[in-house]
């Protein structure tokens, strides 16, 4: 059977849309759904994202029409209209976005005609259809951004060759989204670019509104954000490229070269930036050479994570730490084409190491794949065991880590055992951060 959620690593489309809006300064969601949707999704998303919190108006602060049996029977349009009107009076915001839950989609509320009543308000009110049954939180990110790109982003902007938008990191689903976006923006700015990430430090709705000035959208994912980038291209004529989330020096230098090529930036300027960044990076990384060798910190690795993190982290530990990743489990529910795109990210590594790659949404499957990746012992006189091993995944891997007696670092949703603030795993800075987190786990007893 294919449909069976065993310890869910994603929330639903509505959840993805809500956390994307939570990351967008002064954008106010209006949830048209049952009373529990907003709060349940907040509880899951908050903890899973390393305690992202409700932000400006999230969690119990989210405006929500709280439809009950009456609306399910008679329709919820009147209730929605009333809720939008009162939200505009109560909540101070610059953009109001109606997002919908399953039940109102199924009862067929005509949201478009409700929105017509608010066409002349001082602040824009738009609606994006985000029913849970249409996808997971990453799909919700795409739906929401797609809606914003069509209905909010300026249509008349002049293209600027020096401007790009960054897509592909789903706020909340990626607990480190803000640190990651900030680091990638920093690097692209060093190439002389203007960068909109929409959710990065100091950004406002103006970044989103003027995003159509960009001459390229860079999607830091093989799947997330690709749909929205397609909508953007159709609406605003900006093409996109899809590059993997870069973690550490090897991947980030490659990322900068590919991004620069796509933008036809002069190669020598890019190389100068890379050289400078790598010099700073290896100045820090050199520090661990002593301890790494003195106590032997080489490890086998098993990586369980979403399609952004699983390949990037596996490659990082292989190419940069000299570890031996033996198994990578990608936890997204993907179609054949998407699987092929993600599989490619596990090949062509500098280290020439390649883990067994499996695609599975079920947490309980990881143990089975482990037996596939490493032949279990059979009472031989000598057995080469998969040890010492390091597990990199989510908190769902805690039981597995405990039963194997190996350390675990959580990087992929849900990350309920960490407080995540401005940490990044992307870029050069992220590579150092990941190194520090992995090796600190190993020497915690010292």
Partner 1 sequence: MTIDLNSTTFGKREERLGSVVGYVGTIKDLASQSRCGSLKDRGRCFSQSSSCDAGCVLGYISHIRDIAIINHAPSGCTAGASSVLTNQTQLASKRGLPYNTVILGTDMNESDTIFGATGTLHDTILETYRRYKPEAIFVTTSCVSGIIGEDVDSVIAETGEELPIPVVPIHCEGFKSKVWATGFDAADHAILSRIVVPPRKKGNFVNFKNFNESARDDIVEMFRALGVDVFMIYSNTTLEELSHVSEALATIAICGTLASYLGNGLEQRYGVPYIKTINPLGVTGFETWFRDIGRVIGKEAEVEAYIERERALYLPKLEEVKKRLRGLRVVLGMGSSFAFQVARVIQELDMEVAYIASWHYDSRYDDGNPPPHVQYLAEHAPRDFDVSVADQQNFEILNILNRYKPDLYLARHPGTTVWAVKQGVPAIFMADEYMSFGYKRTLSFAYTILDRITNRSFEKNLSSRIRLPYTDWWYRQESASLYEEAR
Q: Shortest approach of partner 1 to residue 133 CB, angstroms?
A: 4
Closer residue to partner 1, CB minimum distance, 81 or 436: 81
Q: Shortest approach of partner 1 to residue 11 CB, angstroms?
A: 4
Closer residue to partner 1, CB minimum distance, 146 or 244: 146
| Residues 49 and 418: beta-carbon distance below 8 Å | no
Closer residue to partner 1, CB minimum distance, 178 or 299: 178
Closer residue to partner 1, CB minimum distance, 43 or 113: 43
Q: Shortest approach of partner 1 to residue 180 CB, angstroms?
A: 22
Q: Shortest approach of partner 1 to residue 17 CB, angstroms?
A: 10
| Residues 310 and 327: beta-carbon distance below 8 Å | no
Helical (H) or strand (E) element with 330: strand 324-330
Q: Is 338 helix (H, G, I), strand (E, B) or coil?
A: helix
Closer residue to partner 1, CB minimum distance, 252 or 416: 416
Q: Shortest approach of partner 1 to residue 255 CB, angstroms?
A: 31
Closer residue to partner 1, CB minimum distance, 65 or 212: 65
Here the tokens at position 128 are 């994006």
Sort 348 into a burial class: Cβ within 10 Å, 0-12 / 13-18 / 19+.
exposed
Residues 43 and 444: their CA atoms lie apart, in Å, by 30
Chain Cα centroid distance, residue 184? 14
- The gap between the terminal CA atoms of the chain, to the nearest Å, is 47
Q: Shortest approach of partner 1 to residue 295 CB, angstroms?
A: 30
| Residues 431 and 446: beta-carbon distance below 8 Å | no
| Residues 301 and 388: beta-carbon distance below 8 Å | no
């Amino acid at each position: 059977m294919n449909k069976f959620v065993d310890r869910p690593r994603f929330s639903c489309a509505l959840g993805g849309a809500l956390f994307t809006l939570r990351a967008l300064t002064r954008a106010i969601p209006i949830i048209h759904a049952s009373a529990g949707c907003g709060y349940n999704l907040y509880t899951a998303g908050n903890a899973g994202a390393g305690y992202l919190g409700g932000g400006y108006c999230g969690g119990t602060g989210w405006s929500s029409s709280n439809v009950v049996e009456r609306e399910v029977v008679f329709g919820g349009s009147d209730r929605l209209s009333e809720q939008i009107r009162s939200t505009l009076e109560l909540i101070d915001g610059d953009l109001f976005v109606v997002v919908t839950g399953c039940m109102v989609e199924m009862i067929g509320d005509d949201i478009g005609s409700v929105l017509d009543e608010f066409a002349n308000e001082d602040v824009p009110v738009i609606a994006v259809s985000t029913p849970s049954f249409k996808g997971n939180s990453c799909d919700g990110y795409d739906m929401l951004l797609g809606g914003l790109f069509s209905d909010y982003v300026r249509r008349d902007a002049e293209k600027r060759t020096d401007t790009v938008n960054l897509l592909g990191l789903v706020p909340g689903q990626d607990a480190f989204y803000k640190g990651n976006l900030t680091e990638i923006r920093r690097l692209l700015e060093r190439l002389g670019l203007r960068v909109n990430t929409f959710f990065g430090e100091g950004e406002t709705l103006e970044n989103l509104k003027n995003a159509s000035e960009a001459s390229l959208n860079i999607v830091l994912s093989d799947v997330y954000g690709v749909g929205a980038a397609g909508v953007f291209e159709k609406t605003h004529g900006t093409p996109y490229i899809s590059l993997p989330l870069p973690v550490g020096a090897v991947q980030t230098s490659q990322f900068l070269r590919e991004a620069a090529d796509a933008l036809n930036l002069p190669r020598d300027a890019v190389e100068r930036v890379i050289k400078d960044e790598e010099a700073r990076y290896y100045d820090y990384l050199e520090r661990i050479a002593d301890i790494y060798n003195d106590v032997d910190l080489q490890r086998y690795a098993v990586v369980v994570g979403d399609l952004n993190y699983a390949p990037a982290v596996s490659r990082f530990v292989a190419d940069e730490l000299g570890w031996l990743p033996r198994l990578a489990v990608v936890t997204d529910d993907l179609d054949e084409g998407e699987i092929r795109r993600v599989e490619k990210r596990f090949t062509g590594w500098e280290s020439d190491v390649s883990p067994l790659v499996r695609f599975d949404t079920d947490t309980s499957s990881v143990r089975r794949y482990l037996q596939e990746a490493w032949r279990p012992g059979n009472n031989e006189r000598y057995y080469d065991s998969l040890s010492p091993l390091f597990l990199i995944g989510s908190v769902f891997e805690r039981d597995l880590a405990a039963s194997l007696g190996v350390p675990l670092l959580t990087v992929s949703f849900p990350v309920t055992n960490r407080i995540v603030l401005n940490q990044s795993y992307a870029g050069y800075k992220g590579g150092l951060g990941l190194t520090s987190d992995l090796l600190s786990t190993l020497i915690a007893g010292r």
